[in-house]
Structure 1
Amino acid sequence: MSDFDSKLFLANVSQRPGVYRMIAADGEVLYVGKARNLKNRLTTYFVGKAQTTKTMAMVSQVANVEVTVTGSETEALLLEYNLIKQHKPRYNVALRDDKSFPYLYISTDQDYPRISFYRGSRSKMPGKFFGPYPNARATRETLLLLQKLFLLRPCSDSFFSNRSRPCLQYQIKRCSGPCVELISKEAYAQDVSDAMKVLEGRGAELLEDLAQRMEQASQQLEFERAARLRDQIHGIKAIHSTQAVSRDTSHDIDAVALVSSAGEHCVSIVFIRGGQNLGSNNFFPRAGLAEAGELLSGFLVQYYLAREAPDEILISEPVEDADLLEATLSQKMGRAVQVRSSVRGLRSRWLDMARTNADVGLKMRQATEATTAEQLQGIAAALGLPAAPARIECFDISHTMGERTVASCVVFGPTGPLKADYRRFNIDGIEPGDDYGAMRQALTRRYSRIKKGEVPMPDLLLIDGGPGQLTQAVEVLRELEISGIAVVGVAKGADRRPGQERLFLAHHELPTILPPDSSALHLIQRIRDEAHRFAIAGHRHRRAKARRESILETVAGLGPRKRRELLRQFGGLQGITRAGVEDLEKVHGISRKLAQSIYETLHAGS
């Protein structure tokens, strides 16, 4: 029990709205909460009826409580969100998936706007965004569909501005060739406007307009144009026939449902944009001290204050402070945002859809966790571990003939892959193709951080390789004086087929060979394959980046303008390489010192 004097504290705390922070003796922020009346809310923790087991456990660790008085409840809500994001208290509701969602982006500051997939900050981008979409696949499918219907260009601006003839997209009828002006600005602008209407859910209005334009084109004997308009009408009708469309298509709506079972929770969001169902996404928040109603409220705050909120948020059950959340989101978005739990008709069906998705998502997760738990127990039995490993790390190396070596580290726990903990290591300073040296470098960098307490210690370390790679791992751990980790080398069989893996354990002379149908082996294969995939992806990205990068970009003081001028004056990199220092110096903006630096960089080692 802590020696915190709650009576003295409560005697002096304010009754105004604000935020409070429960702090442990070591300074850890245990919990962050908001209150309309700080005194009344904090009194419930220390005086009166018995609390839940979780709350009592948290209160027993409290060594201090800090409060911040705010001018309004809205300020308190925003401050609570920022503090939770900053401190990540263990007893608060926490989202385990904080990725940003993809959008479709149409630039509007160009004669021939581009339509593209976009993920990231939208604050300074000129143009219009449509979404969010639940995943990248749904976004790219929509993008492809719009390309087929309206032939909008998907290419980058640099690619677009340097074309002398249309690219393959034009040949396969995915683009109208604006790069070489095969379509007028006015006609292209009409296609852009039509695409926006589809994305905004104004398909019915567009169908009428397209029908009128098709009839007009037929009367003017422009049969090719009329045929294209006809195909667009059929395409838009096909979209409508597969979507649940609302009578009110001017609103963006999210339907949010929470399902809980056996101490686990799933929140599912169904995205309705322009009256069309774009799909759903599931989240599995950590509940902390929250019960079901509080959990949903905490989720809504953390989720929507970090993103753009739709016009309407449908929720599966009433939540406390829904009016406060409405006011805060409306203020943040600069428009009205509604939070509703009592709905009928189509909105009710969307909520039912969200509940079904949450229920299925939770059952699938629990089934996966049960399977993973059995596999972890199997690994413990097969390798002679004292208990099932709660955290597994696996390393792999990838390179092409020693070029641009990358090491990967993937992490698995009882719930599966912990992707936020994945890491890649760019390997330098070794002989090309030295896998042992690469493995040693990656392990040293990773486990030096673990030694400092910056990263949790794993129970099991898997190395993709045989005795040689295993020896490197054992030596690194010995040099860092790290013990208590089981180390296993996962070597492929004679003909490298799955099911023939040999497991080399540290300090064991002979390998362990598990039967091909072993559930423990299946999990080890899954982890090994994930490390392999992650390493290859990192290596390919690093190799492609190196091959895209010009050697001129490595010259200090040589910016993009000067590089372009050099390339223009000498006709390319070969011309620059053949030039002397005096020739380089004659180019506008190139000093004698810079010319010398360019020459030395291009002729290094020759």
Structure 2
Amino acid sequence: MDGDAVRERAAKLPREPGVYQFQTVESPRDHGGTTGDRAAETVVYVGKAVDLRDRVRSYADPRGERIRRMVERADRIDYSVTDTETQALLLEANLIKRFQPRYNVRLKDDKSYPLVQLTDHEFPRIEITRDPDPEATARRRADGGATAADPGVAGPRVFGPFTEKTRVETVVKALRETYGVRGCSDHKFSNRDRPCLDYDIGLCTAPCTGEIGRESYLADVESVVRFFEGETGVLADPLGREMERAAENREFERAANLRDRLDAVEGFHGGAGEAVASRGDERSVDVLGVALEGDSATVARLHSESGQLVERDRFEVSVPEGDADTRAGAVLSAFVPQYYAERELPDALLLSERPDAEVLEWLDREGVAARVPGAGREATLLDLALKNARRGASEPDALAALRDALGLDAVPRRIEGFDVSHAQGTAAVGSDVAFENGSADKSGYRRKKLDDRNDDYANMYDLVRWRAERALAGRDDRSDPDLLLIDGGAGQLGAARDALADAGWDVPAIALAKDEELVVTPDATYDWPSDAAHLHVLQRVRDEAHRFAVQYHQSLRDDISTELDNVPGVGPATRRKLLRRFGSVEGLRAASAAELREVDGVGEKTAETLLTRL
């Protein structure tokens, strides 16, 4: 886009708070598709604004080289309106995590803030989500509609984001109890011939079976919309009346429960905000220090409870390409909302630099005291955090050594390991384990059932191709790895690289063979010293991938119905022991009576029966 195109688009935007996205649009033919396929949109930058029109217009004359390149690359600008500046701040954090835009500072994890969505069905459903219905949004765009956040447009309505999921859940349950809006899936809704349990306990008015007409139901939905648009009394008033009735009837436990619910409702739109805690009340304190180096930054966090340092960790943050001189304050402005997306905020934040005013205002509204220490114990804690950050950014470690040894472009902070396991072609499975900064990230583990065949190369090809296609299609919610490690030798590595090439996923891949611990790359084979720290990193990933694959394979194999099921004296426990010892029924057939008796639970009579039956 050029300056004139940006100004023309900005003139059509509202003067309201919100979030804007610069996007590129690629033809389907760029990806091997046909003219009938939908164009592919890629988000390259996400920003927030108090006034969308003024903020987007400023990009017509970009002040920095990085922003100028971003604007030139973009083909269109999309936007979403929010009710408040705080919502714009949190929605921006959500979208950065979801799309990982090239020109944004971003924390490499997948946490996000909850939103509340009312779907665009004939009888709308209310739900808490972190990813609003993309298909409904696409349908509305195709029909010429605006985005889901635009007011006055039919279709799914999304409210939020919100910082406290527990409070959101409390409010949504109270809304359902008051107005009976359904929360069931489409499948359950369309296949009912009588009301479900939600109707019996007062959570739903059962539009699925005609217990309420559409006009009355939509009136209740509109009351829910009014609440999320700021009309707190829509829910607070009936809750207050119900609480008073419970107290009059001496139902004190129910009255207390309603009181707590009423507190959550009245505080939902900021009416019950806490004052900023004084230093004497700050039981939990987080200290954040930033170190910048090249195209990355490291944020070190120290966590203190009641004056005692109880936790410390480090996080890698991506700095936009060509923007290595990004201020530490800008890094903190991006890090704080993204990191605390799904974590409890502390009473106080001690920071190495001041973040943007919007972040400080948000922290203030959330009751968090944010400051940059000048002297004393707080300054000492901050110095410690900065030392931890610089250690993460600068000191040579095992991952940096691995980068140098392999000639990689960047430190492989995230490594994924792959292995396959089967028993002579049966119960074939694949594992995909993830390591972040040298430590196992078990939330990133995945496994896959493969076609049964006795071909390790074909199995590895299918496993890596599956991972690559999911990543390219946006169906995998994990960050892309910096390095793939294949359990095996040159053959397995070749199969994996073929899969990457066929899928079009550009990720470096190497292999580690078990017998001689040789590291195999496309260009060379390395025999590193057995005490090399960077070799130990690869061994940990390889061994974990192997363990995870074998574990899944054994669980599948133990569940397979075999000819052992009909052998007298062989129960499920003995069957599992036999299959683990001999690998398969074919292995059992080749065993002698003496070998069979070595298995715990197999006596002479059972061994003879096995030999006869098999």
TM-score by length of 1: 0.50
Contact in 2 for aligned 1:412/1:527 (Cα 8 Å)? no
Counterpart of 2:77? Answer: 65
Counterpart of 1:363? Answer: 394
CA deviation after TM superposition for structure 1 residue 253, in Å: 0.9
**2:402 is aligned with what amino acid?**
T
SS of match in other structure, 2:75: strand
Contact in 1 for aligned 2:282/2:347 (Cα 8 Å)? no
Counterpart of 2:304? Answer: 272
Contact in 1 for aligned 2:23/2:42 (Cα 8 Å)? yes
1:40-439 correspondence runs (5 A): 40-47=54-61, 51-98=63-110, 248=280, 251-288=283-320, 291-321=327-357, 322-328=359-365, 330=366, 336-342=367-373, 344-364=375-395, 370-377=400-407, 395-398=418-421, 406-409=429-432, 424-427=446-449, 430=452, 434=454, 436-437=455-456, 439=457
Contact in 1 for aligned 2:399/2:534 (Cα 8 Å)? no
CA deviation after TM superposition for structure 1 residue 540, in Å: 3.0
Contact in 1 for aligned 2:111/2:338 (Cα 8 Å)? no
Percent pairwise identity: 28
Partners of 1:312 and 1:460 lie apart in 2 by 37
Partners of 2:334 and 2:507 lie apart in 1 by 37
1:26-41 correspondence runs (5 A): 26=26, 27-41=41-55
1:527 correspondence with 2:557: no
Once the two structures are superposed, what CA deviation does each residue of 1:41-81 show, in whole Å capped at 9, x if it has no partner?
3333213xx62221111111122223334333223223323
Contact in 2 for aligned 1:15/1:39 (Cα 8 Å)? yes
**1:304 is aligned with what amino acid?**
Y
Segment of structure 1 superposing worse, 69-78 or 422-431: 422-431
Once the two structures are superposed, what CA deviation does each residue of 1:415-467 show, in whole Å capped at 9, x if it has no partner?
88996996644445537xx4x35x52342243256368448999998654457
Label 1:489 to 1:89 Cα distance change in 2 as closer, same or farther (>3 A).
Answer: closer
Label 1:514 to 1:34 Cα distance change in 2 as closer, same or farther (>3 A).
Answer: closer
CA deviation after TM superposition for structure 1 residue 410, in Å: 5.8
CA deviation after TM superposition for structure 1 residue 397, in Å: 3.3
Label 1:73 to 1:430 Cα distance change in 2 as closer, same or farther (>3 A).
Answer: closer
**1:315 is aligned with what amino acid?**
L
Once the two structures are superposed, what CA deviation does each residue of 1:492-529 show, in whole Å capped at 9, x if it has no partner?
5xxx454xx495979xxxxx76555499x986775355
CA deviation after TM superposition for structure 1 residue 23, in Å: 2.0
Once the two structures are superposed, what CA deviation does each residue of 1:217-264 show, in whole Å capped at 9, x if it has no partner?
xxxxxxxxxxxxxxxxxxxxxxxxxxxxx9947521111121223343
Partners of 2:411 and 2:376 lie apart in 1 by 49
Partners of 1:550 and 1:467 lie apart in 2 by 32
Partners of 1:286 and 1:10 lie apart in 2 by 29
**2:548 is aligned with what amino acid?**
A
SS of match in other structure, 1:317: coil
1:443 correspondence with 2:454: no
Partners of 2:557 and 2:57 lie apart in 1 by 61
SS of match in other structure, 1:22: strand
* Structure 1: gaps (5+ residues): 101-120, 127-245, 331-335, 381-386, 507-511, 552-571, 575-604
CA deviation after TM superposition for structure 1 residue 536, in Å: 0.5
Contact in 1 for aligned 2:289/2:382 (Cα 8 Å)? yes
Segment of structure 1 superposing worse, 354-363 or 368-377: 368-377
**1:540 is aligned with what amino acid?**
Q
Partners of 1:406 and 1:344 lie apart in 2 by 58
SS of match in other structure, 2:283: coil
SS of match in other structure, 1:58: helix
Counterpart of 2:186? Answer: none
Once the two structures are superposed, what CA deviation does each residue of 1:382-428 show, in whole Å capped at 9, x if it has no partner?
xxxxx999999764334689896543346899x88996996644445
Contact in 1 for aligned 2:468/2:505 (Cα 8 Å)? no
Partners of 2:503 and 2:338 lie apart in 1 by 41
Partners of 1:483 and 1:83 lie apart in 2 by 23
Label 1:344 to 1:2 Cα distance change in 2 as closer, same or farther (>3 A).
Answer: same
Contact in 1 for aligned 2:420/2:549 (Cα 8 Å)? no
SS of match in other structure, 1:89: coil
**1:362 is aligned with what amino acid?**
A
Aligned residues: 384
Partners of 1:57 and 1:458 lie apart in 2 by 26
Counterpart of 1:202? Answer: none
Once the two structures are superposed, what CA deviation does each residue of 1:179-219 show, in whole Å capped at 9, x if it has no partner?
xxxxxxxxxxxxxxxxxxxxxxxxxxxxxxxxxxxxxxxxx
Partners of 1:352 and 1:276 lie apart in 2 by 16
Once the two structures are superposed, what CA deviation does each residue of 1:328-377 show, in whole Å capped at 9, x if it has no partner?
5x1xxxxx22222245433222222212211222123x655653332113
Once the two structures are superposed, what CA deviation does each residue of 1:305-338 show, in whole Å capped at 9, x if it has no partner?
332101111211222224422245x1xxxxx222
Of the three residues 523, 537, 540, the one matched with 2:551 is: 540
Contact in 2 for aligned 1:410/1:421 (Cα 8 Å)? no
**2:51 is aligned with what amino acid?**
N
CA deviation after TM superposition for structure 1 residue 6, in Å: 2.4
SS of match in other structure, 1:531: helix
**1:397 is aligned with what amino acid?**
V
Partners of 2:512 and 2:338 lie apart in 1 by 41
Label 1:473 to 1:63 Cα distance change in 2 as closer, same or farther (>3 A).
Answer: closer
TM-score by length of 2: 0.50
SS of match in other structure, 2:19: strand
Partners of 1:485 and 1:20 lie apart in 2 by 30
Segment of structure 1 superposing worse, 314-323 or 295-304: 314-323
Partners of 1:88 and 1:45 lie apart in 2 by 20
Partners of 1:97 and 1:457 lie apart in 2 by 11
Partners of 1:81 and 1:309 lie apart in 2 by 15
Label 1:474 to 1:268 Cα distance change in 2 as closer, same or farther (>3 A).
Answer: closer
Partners of 1:457 and 1:18 lie apart in 2 by 29
CA deviation after TM superposition for structure 1 residue 37, in Å: 3.0
Contact in 1 for aligned 2:106/2:319 (Cα 8 Å)? yes
